[in-house]
Amino acid sequence: MIKPDGVSRGLIGKVISRIEDKGLKIVGMKMIKLDENLAKKHYAEHKDKPFFESLISFITSAPSVAMAIEGKDAVRILRSIIGNTDPKESPIGTIRGDFGIDVGKNIVHASDSIESAKRELELFFSEEELVKYKRAGEEWIYES
C-alpha cells in the first residue's frame, strides 16, 4: 500500500515502477480513502501500542493506493524493496531509504508474512478484483 504521504507527495509512479522493475506483478490496485473502521482492522495488531491512534489518524487523512502483488517469494522481496520501518535505518536504494525520513511517514506498507498478506488482501479486495494474467517477459524473470 502506498500510504497518504506517498500519494500526496506524488510518489505513486515511482513506487509502482520499483515493484514492476523487480519483476513482481500487480494483480489488483485501487485508490481508496480508508475510514476509521477499515484502518483499525488493517492495523489491529498495533491496537495496544501507544502510537495506534496517531497511526489511524494518519492513514485516514488522505487517499492511499492498495495493491495486490504477486510473484515468487513476493512478501520477502517486497519487504527488501521497501526497506526498514524507520527510513533512517533503510539503505539508500529502498523506497523508504530514498523517500522517507520519519517512521510515522514512511511512504508504504507491506505485509510482513503470507498470513498477514492474506488477511490484508481480504480487507481491500474482493476475489473478482484480482486479475490473473501472464506478464510479457516472465520467462526472463524466473528460472524454470
Active site residues: 109
The Cα 92–Cα 122 span in angstroms is 32
Indicate the DSSP class of residue 34: -
The Cα 69–Cα 59 span in angstroms is 20
Of 23, 32, 9, 19, whose CA–CA distance to 95 is shortest? 19
List of residues 6+ apart from 111 with CB closer than 8 A: 75, 78, 117, 120
